Structure 1
Amino acid sequence: MAGSRVAHATLKGPSVVKELCIGLALGLAAGGLWKMYHWNEQRKVRQFYDLLEKGEISVVASEE
């Protein structure tokens, strides 16, 4: 029986371009989520001050 040949995967080092692309994609995704969170918080604050200015809400506790 002659030696049987099995195809083995050759191990290579990390691909710099692939690593940069993955890092860029993850960074943009995380940055987009962070930015959407801040836009949402800014919208809530703006809505609060608009209601406060219109007199629909008050920050002073009512005494009853």
Structure 2
Amino acid sequence: MAGSRVAHVAYKGPSVMKEILIGIALGMVAGGVWKMHHWNNQRRTKEFYDMLEKDEISVVVNEE
């Protein structure tokens, strides 16, 4: 088995473009999740006020 060599790749350091693209992708995903969260809250608030206007719900506690 003399003479069997394994080619090793030398570490060249971080790839700046790869890290920038990964950062942009992660930022877009996080921004999308955050935006969906805000759209959901906005939808809930709108539904609440619509139901309040139609007198389907009330914020006043009924005393018996």
**TM-score in terms of structure 2 length:** 0.90
Aligned mates of 1:3, 1:51 — CA distance in 2: 81
- Are 1:49 and 2:46 an aligned pair? no
Q: Which amino acid aligns with 2:6?
A: V
- Are 1:17 and 2:14 an aligned pair? no
Percent of aligned positions that are identical: 69
Aligned mates of 1:32, 1:6 — CA distance in 2: 45
Compute the RMSD of aligned alpha carbons.
1.5
Residue matched to 1:34: 34
Using the TM superposition, give the Cα deviation of residue 32 of structure 1 relative to its aligned residue in structure 2, in angstroms.
Answer: 0.2
**TM-score in terms of structure 1 length:** 0.90
Which aligned runs of 4 or more in structure 1 are off by greater than 3 angstroms?
Answer: 1-4
Structure 1 stretches of 5 or more lacking a match? none
Structure 2 stretches of 5 or more lacking a match? none
